[in-house]
């Protein structure tokens, strides 16, 4: 599969269905503000859970920082508390640090709130790296 097809399949192909939070946008915003986190948070919809194919060496590097070879790509940012992304933008996270409550995807700097349904896919790390 060429690079373009691999990226297209990752972004728009079928995947294993996953369920995120059923909260409405305003509800999710109020919930996250009530948690008073020490990190920023980002509400996202139309998301893809990406299980990364990595080498043993890459897995070891991630493990040293307690991260896992998983990222989220979201087609739709609803709200970003740090103002890095505008509503409607897409976002690709850094690797997973923790996953809580079935919808809070935590990275080293940000908690991503997975709203609505998403899909899960296995992809090559190089394919994810081709998205800006």
What's the number of domains the chain is made of?
A: 1
Query: pLDDT digits over 61-109, tens only?
Result: 999 999 999 999 999 999 999 999 999 999 999 999 999 999 999 999 9
Q: What is the pLDDT of residue 121?
A: 97
Q: What is the pLDDT of residue 52?
A: 94
Identify the domain containing residue 52 by its residue range: 3-128
Query: pLDDT digits over 9-51, tens only?
Result: 888 889 999 999 999 999 999 999 999 888 899 999 999 999 9
**Band (1; pLDDT cuts 50, 70, 90):** low
Q: What is the pLDDT of residue 40?
A: 93
Q: Pairing state of beta strands 104-106 and 40-53? A: unpaired
Higher pLDDT, 105 or 129: 105
Concatenated DSSP letters of the chain: --HHHHHHHHHHS--EEEE-B---HHHHHHHHHHH--SSEEEEEEEEEEEEEE--HHHHHHHHHTT-BSEEEEEEEEEEETTSSS-TT--EE---BSEEETTTEEE-SSEEEEEBSEEEEEEEEHHHHTT--
């Amino acid at each position: 599969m060429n690079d373009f097809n691999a990226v297209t399949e990752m972004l728009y192909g079928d995947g294993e269905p996953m369920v995120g939070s059923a909260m409405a946008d305003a509800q999710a915003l109020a919930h996250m503000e009530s948690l008073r986190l020490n990190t920023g948070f980002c509400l996202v919809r139309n998301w893809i859970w990406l299980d990364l194919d990595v080498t043993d060496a890459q897995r070891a590097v991630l493990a040293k920082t307690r991260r896992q070879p998983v990222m989220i790509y979201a087609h739709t940012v609803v709200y970003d508390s740090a103002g890095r992304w505008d509503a409607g933008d897409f976002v690709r996270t850094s690797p997973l640090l923790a996953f809580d409550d079935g919808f809070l995807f935590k990275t080293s700097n940000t908690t991503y709130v997975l709203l609505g349904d998403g899909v899960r896919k296995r992809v090559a790390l190089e394919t994810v790296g081709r998205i800006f």
